[in-house]
Amino acid sequence: MIWQISVALIAVAFVVLVVFLVRTLQSAQKSLNQTTETLQEIKETVNDLSTEIKGVVRQANDITGDLQHKMEQIDPVLESVKNVGEVLNEVTLAAKQVSTALIDRMKNSPRAARRARRAETETPQAPVAPPAPEPPAALPAGPADKPTGWVKWVDVAASVWQKYRS
């Protein structure tokens, strides 16, 4: 009789084990089905995105080509701006040289030399009466009396400036 009870218990345990095993397998099958469906959806999404990405890449290539074309058109303008900057730099240097030369010429003129000599000969203890001004005709003809040299530079600078502005 123990044999029969033992065999019955083993049979019942086996049936319970099979039932739980069947439930586990059914649950695993549902999970696999859901995974398959999800993978199908992902595949469709990736296909849709790949076509959109291809379109975006084409547009980016078109935009890049357009920008390159426009940059090639702008290059001469930028070169002209560079040339204008160099010309302005040269005009500025010429104006600086002219003004420096004019100031040096005015400092080295005979009037300035006479004033410097007078200032050196004057003594601070004995006030000296200021000398009478000389008439303009009595002034010696010097380089300051010939404005043609620096006037030419001013004329050149003015003409360059007018050409630049027009």
Can you give the pLDDT at residue 115?
Answer: 66
Please compute the mean of the pLDDT values over residues 127-149 and round it to a whole number.
49
pLDDT single digits (tens) 1-43: 888 999 999 999 999 999 999 999 999 999 999 999 999 999 9
Domain count, the chain: 1
Q: Does 56 reside within a domain?
A: yes
Place of tokens 């029969």: 4
Alpha carbon distance, N-terminus to C-terminus of the chain: 126
Are 95 and 156 in contact, with CB atoms under 8 Å apart?
no
Structural domain for 14, as ranges: 2-117+147-161
DSSP 61-94: HHHHHHHHHHHHHHHHHHHHHHHHHHHHHHHHHH
Q: Does 38 reside within a domain?
A: yes
Q: Does 98 reside within a domain?
A: yes
